[in-house]
Chain A
């Protein structure tokens, strides 16, 4: 069975500071990996994904994430936080075969201070 751990349910950064949101997964084989963002009272929007190939993936709004197989990690980063980045972020995985459903982490709420 797969599982996803997001360290830190709340992260606060200053505007212009580095954003680092941590995600580790547990899976018998490397899964597909995703980061989703949720703004208040809205659905989830895909930020970026890793399926195969280059381990550093770039997404929307200046975010990127690196898949590190040896560390079973897929941390999300952004060099300079903007006020509009304040939201909840979810790391998720799906199996490469069989059921295609996503398994989500518990989420990290990002607060950006002016």
Chain B
């Protein structure tokens, strides 16, 4: 039972490059989320998706786009990476309100 799987685990980008972070869950959850974690700031919501085909902005959406391809997959795209997007990115999913399951994270460095 894999839970929430994120790829890649590590990535280094140059400023201006683009990339897509992939996330897939095998728990048949409707809701999926992307968070970023920065030192001293906890996790902040970038985007979330309540169901397939729907997405909504979170607290820090600027510079990001998302796609909810199907019920399992929720990708996060950086069109033109900036050093301020250096962070650890977490994908999560839940079925109800009582527990979210997190992936192992993607550590992204933008130079």
Q: Using known A-B contacts A32-B97, A96-B97, A99-B48, determine if residue A104 contacts B103 with beta carbons closer than 8 Å.
A: no
**Interface 1/0 per residue, B34-59 and A, CB below 8 Å:** 01000011111100101000001010
Q: Tell me whether B41 and A100 are in contact (CB under 8 A).
A: no
Q: Kindly state whether residue B62 has any CB partner on chain A within 8 Å.
A: no
Q: Closest approach, in angstroms, between the C-beta of A60 and any C-beta of chain B?
A: 12
Q: Which of A14-22, A43-51, A64-72, A74-82 contacts B (4 or more CB under 8 A)?
A: A43-51
* B7 interfacial contact with A, CB 8 Å: no
User: Which residues of chain B are near A32, meaning CB under 8 Å?
Assistant: 97-98
Query: Is the interface on chain A under 10, 10 to 19, 20 to 34, or 35 or more residues?
Result: 20 to 34
Residues of A at the B interface (CB closer than 8 Å) are: 4, 9, 32, 34, 36, 41-46, 49, 51, 90, 92, 94-96, 99-107
B: residues with CB less than 8 A from A are: 4, 31, 33, 35, 40-45, 48, 50, 56, 58, 90, 92, 94, 96-100, 102-105
Can you list 18 A-B contacts (CB < 8 A)?
Answer: A32-B98, A36-B102, A43-B104, A43-B105, A46-B99, A49-B98, A49-B99, A51-B98, A99-B48, A99-B50, A100-B50, A100-B94, A100-B96, A101-B45, A102-B33, A102-B43, A104-B44, A107-B42
